[in-house]
Amino acid sequence: MSTQLATFWLADDLYGIPVERVQEVLREQVMTKVPLSPSTVSGLINLRGQVVTSVDLRRRLDLRVVPGQPTMLVVAFVEGESIALVVDRIGGVVDVNDEQFETPPDTLTESRRSLVRGAYKLDGQLLLGLDVDAAVAA
C-alpha cells in the first residue's frame, strides 16, 4: 500500500508525517513565549486569528538546539487541533510503500525511538516516520 509523507529535516535526518495530517507550511513566525511551559513548547503563534501552540521538535527529540538557526513550521492536525511543529527545513512529498518500511533503527536513542513509528529506505536516504501524536504529547 502506498502512502504520501510530507517531509522535513531536523539536523541531518529526514522525517515525514502523513500528508493528510499537514494543514500548511510556514516560514519562521513571531512566537509569544508561554511562562512555565515545558521546554519543548516554543510558544504560541497567531495563525490568521487562531492561536496555535508550537512544539520544538529538536528539543522533543533530544537533538542539539542551535540558537539563531532559521526554522520553518509544519502546521499539523493533532486530535482536531492545529499544532505548529518547529523544524529546520522543509523537504517535499514522498511516496512510500509497505515494502520500504522497517522498525526504527537501533542507532536511534531510546527517546527518539519512542517518537518514530519506523523508517523507510529511500535511494541513498533513510526517512524516519514521526509519530506526530506522540511527538506533541506532554
pLDDT tens digits for range 56-110? 999 999 998 888 888 999 999 999 999 999 999 999 999 999 999 999 988 888 8
CA distance 4 to 48: 27
| Residue 1 predicted with pLDDT over 90 | no
Measured in whole angstroms, how far is the alpha carbon of residue 114 from the centre of its chain?
14
Q: State phi, psi for 71 to the nearest 5 degrees.
A: -130, 165
Q: What is the CATH number of the domain that holds 84?
A: 2.40.50.180
**Hey, how many other C-beta atoms are within 10 angstroms of the C-beta on 97?**
10
Report in angstroms the alpha-carbon separations of 87 from 17, 40, 90.
12, 12, 7
Domain that holds residue 92: 2-136
State how many domains the chain has. Answer: 1
Which pLDDT belongs to residue 138?
61
